[in-house]
Amino acid sequence: MNMFFYKEKILSPGQLKRLSDHKYSCESLSILDSVLQPWWEWLVSKIPLWLAPNLITVIGLIINILTTLVLVYYSPDAKAEAPWWAFILCAFGLFAYQSLDAIDGKQARRTGTSSPLGELFDHGCDSVSTVFVAISACIAVQLGAYPSWMFFQCFCAITLFYCAHWQAYVSGTLRFGRVDVTEAQFTIMGIHLISAFLGPEIWSIKVPVIGIFELRHLIFVMTVVCCSVPLYQLFIDICNGGVGKNGSTVAGTSVLSPVIPLSLVIVPAFIICRKSTEHVYENHPVLYILAFGLVAAKVTNRLVVAHMTRNEMDYFDSSLIGPAMLFLNQYFNFFIPEHVVLWFCLIWVCFDLIRYSRQVCLEICDHMRIQLFKITPNTTTQNLQQQSSNRNVNADMNDVTYALNEDGTPLLDADDDEFIIYDASVA
């Protein structure tokens, strides 16, 4: 059971070695990030030192998922009106996730436990959260009444997140614009609060002056505008070539190669949706997007792993077995109802995503000799003691001189390999 149904390890020794050498590179121009820094600094100062950064991230994700599922329970078709408090709860869940996700890195630096695993774990949780956040926003404005529009909105969010890491795979740097993830999250919080206090029907009101447009159409316009900027930047990076040899990606592969795994998710999702005789998507939009969204999350995780290990990304993924069930059921016109097959698809995808994430994390933990959700007490203590020792040594540096060998190198103590020093003030 240690391999959790994997016969062989996912990451090769070479990948693990390159992962250990990986350095996080990020450029952020976000407007809200600078505004929220004081809040994040205050919040992380209240977190106990024994709390592992990855545990902070996963707690935030669980809160985000649970609060969204409450909304889904009351509006599984994204048409029914959920109770006002469910929208407030969902806004709180997103705020909690956003805040905890922002301080996990600060906690890692604070406890001296920063590692590539933390970056990978953070992006993995973000890929899952993106799906739930997109679904919750659609429920808040009752987009289930416009299934094609809901499909576009959700897959735009999923594609944008994938493209951000595609760009990092090409350029070696994860870039955030002035209006990016943080701004989108707070916009969705605002949408939830508006639906809570004014009711979801507020989004059906016609916009003054432009009478043919409803308020919810403004969300569509915002989505198109916000999508165009990062997609344009990705296009520029692809045209300019990657940081690898001959303009390739960090792994030395074609800069266009990541388009294939993404297409293997979106194209089948669209075809199955359009060819369904039982209108499986129109009748179960949330379930459908959740299933295909988690497939996209798994594929995105593999792209992040490929970037951090500087390795080629395989085109086929085992999570695609789920959508294949739906496709084959349609093609051969089986007697099994499509919504039942959709449930089997979702169950498989969840299982496959969990087992993959678990296995990758365990392999990295074993290689780096760290724990996923626990900080070894000695680690924190030793870091604090080292910082204290460094301050003391720096304060008395003028009075301390190293004992030297004949060749001028520092003389080491034979027992504990520490530098032998003498105090000039005592001498």
Among all residues, which ones are annotated catalytic? 123
How crowded is residue 136: how many other Cβ atoms within 10 Å of its Cβ? 29
Cα–Cα distance measured from residue 46 to residue 412, given in angstroms and rounded to the nearest whole number: 41
φ/ψ of residue 6, rounded to 5? -100, 125
| Exposure class string for 180-206: b at 16+ Cβ within 10 A, else e | bbbbbbbebbebbbbbbeeebeebeee
Using the structure block, give the residue that is written with the tokens 């529009």: 149
Q: Which DSSP helix (H) or strand (E) runs through 175? A: strand 174-176
CA distance 298 to 359: 13
Question: Residue 129 has which token pair?
Answer: 């959260």
Cα 363 to Cα 339: distance, rounded to the nearest angstrom: 36
Phi, psi values for residue 203, rounded to 5° = -75, -10
Q: Where are the alpha helices (DSSP H) in 241-337?
A: 259-275, 280-283, 285-308, 321-331
Spatial separation of the C-alpha atoms in residues 240 and 312, rounded to whole Å: 20
For residue 373, give the 3-state DSSP assignment. coil
